[in-house]
Amino acid sequence: MAVTNTPVRLTQPDLESIIERALDEARARGASQAEAAVSQDTGLSVGVRLGEVETLEHQRDRSMGITVYFGQRKGSASTADFSPHAVSATVAKACSIARFTAEDANAGLADAALMARAPPDLDLSHPWSITADHAIEIAKSSEAAALGFDPRVNNSEGASVATHQGLHVYGNTHGFVGGYPTTSHTISCVVLAGKGDDMQRDYWYTSSRDWQELQDPVAVGLESARRTIARLGPRKISTRRAPVLFVPELARGLIGHFVAAIRGSSLYRQASFLLNCAGQQLFPSDVFIAERPHLLKAMGSAPFDEEGVATHNRELVAAGVVTGYILSSYSARKLGLQTTGNAGGSHNLLVTPTLGGGLDAMLAKLGSGLLLTELMGQGVNTVTGDYSRGAAGFWVENGAIQYPVAEITVAGNLRAMLGGIAAIGDDVDVRGGVRVGSILVQEMTIAGE
């Protein structure tokens, strides 16, 4: 193994000094503006299957990216070598590229006045000093619990434990340099049940910034088994139109399609079914979606975006009306607007529930229709809004689950689906960057036999 002259784990001041060196080099080479980002990631992931270790991976990644501007000409380059010579050579390469690129009137750093001058500490780093042996034992205990749940659970795709630690620092020639450490930890389990033509699989997982807040691994295994057993003996249903209830982990994707359609890059490329939708009533009047980037320990939190712009609370949807877009400085300039502090994406979207009482209340509101628990395929067109995906779930009558269904397709148009939201549950899934409960869509086409 090659020996390097840099420590295995650099500190934030170390990374900040690398950025300062890169920016000084860019100025010396005549760049009118420059920005650099340095990241360092370490991690451990293990996977077991049927009680045996299947994967064991240690991750150690580092990278530096530099973007320079000569007026309206832009050039970018990156390296994984942090030595002074490599940093200098990377900046030189970016400058060389910039001299051959076309001018772009919208190129450049975000406005200096928007930089995060006093970024808050959002408590995003909780390192887990776990050995590989301990991680393997945790994964084994989760899988064993699943396999012991019911004799019909007879196979496994494995259980896994993953822990990651990152340190990301960004700086630019406005004088901004900032960074913060993050962690993420996950335990998951996937098992199979049944035999012959009736083999079913399902999964469960827990994820958190703080390893001490993870769900018990045995509980994760038991839930994956319970979900798998519930899917045995699925029936096919005839093609029909009916209400569809998306469970929270799928409802998150539904909101994600909306977010993708109001992203600046989709809008200025005219590649969205929601062009010019700001100020329009897209959702029912009881729907509110807020962005809250400063929630402590949350998976989507960030004190500033990828351009150093301070993040802030905002309302994306108020009383069903779209109030704004997801913009970086570049996409904002293309649209004649101002950045919303969303270079790199949105930060913690909170969808306000419209109905209390958890899943039971949502099933009662559904009445008779489809409880959707799995989606397959990529049949979502954010240009036209057309939506068609393979699916599985449960048929519900009078608010009670009757039997599992499989080999169906659910289809509709996203604009009609979002406008046809009949209720949003308070069974909120907080494991990702979109916090939402189950969503009931009034009517969709269900293609079966």
pLDDT in tens, 417-449: 999 999 999 999 999 999 999 999 999 999 998
Condensed to tens digits (0 to 9), the pLDDT of residues 294-349 reads 999 999 999 999 999 999 999 999 999 999 999 999 999 999 999 999 999 999 99
- Show the tokens assigned to 444: 């969709």
Phi, psi values for residue 35, rounded to 5°: -145, 150
Average pLDDT over residues 78-85: 97
Q: pLDDT (tens digit, 9 = 90+) per residue, 29-57?
A: 999 999 999 999 999 999 999 999 999 99
With pLDDT > 70 as the criterion, what percentage of the chain qualifies? 98
**At residue 3, does pLDDT exceed 50?**
no
* Residue pair 238/449 in contact by the 8 Å Cβ criterion: yes
Question: Which residue(s) pair with 287 in the sheet?
Answer: none
Domain residues of the chain, as ranges? 12-41+59-114, 132-230, 240-251+353-447
pLDDT exceeds 90 at position 163: yes
Check if the beta carbon of residue 335 is closer than 8 Å to that of residue 314. no
Topology classification of domain 132-230: PmbA/TldD fold (3.30.2290)
pLDDT band of residue 1 (cuts 50, 70, 90) is very low
Angle at which helices 132-147 and 217-230 pack, to 10 degrees?
A: 30
Q: What is the CATH class of 12-41+59-114?
A: alpha beta
Q: How many whole angstroms separate alpha carbon 160 and alpha carbon 45?
A: 7
The CA radius of gyration of the chain, in Å to the nearest whole number, is: 24
Flag whether pLDDT at 15 surpasses 70: yes
* Mean pLDDT in residue range 192-211: 95
The pair of structure tokens assigned to 32 is: 């009118």
Q: How high is the pLDDT of residue 2? A: 33
Three-class DSSP category at 128 = coil
State both tokens at 231.
Answer: 């899917």
The whole-angstrom separation of Cα 117 and Cα 111 is: 13
Residue 268 CA, distance from chain mean position: 23
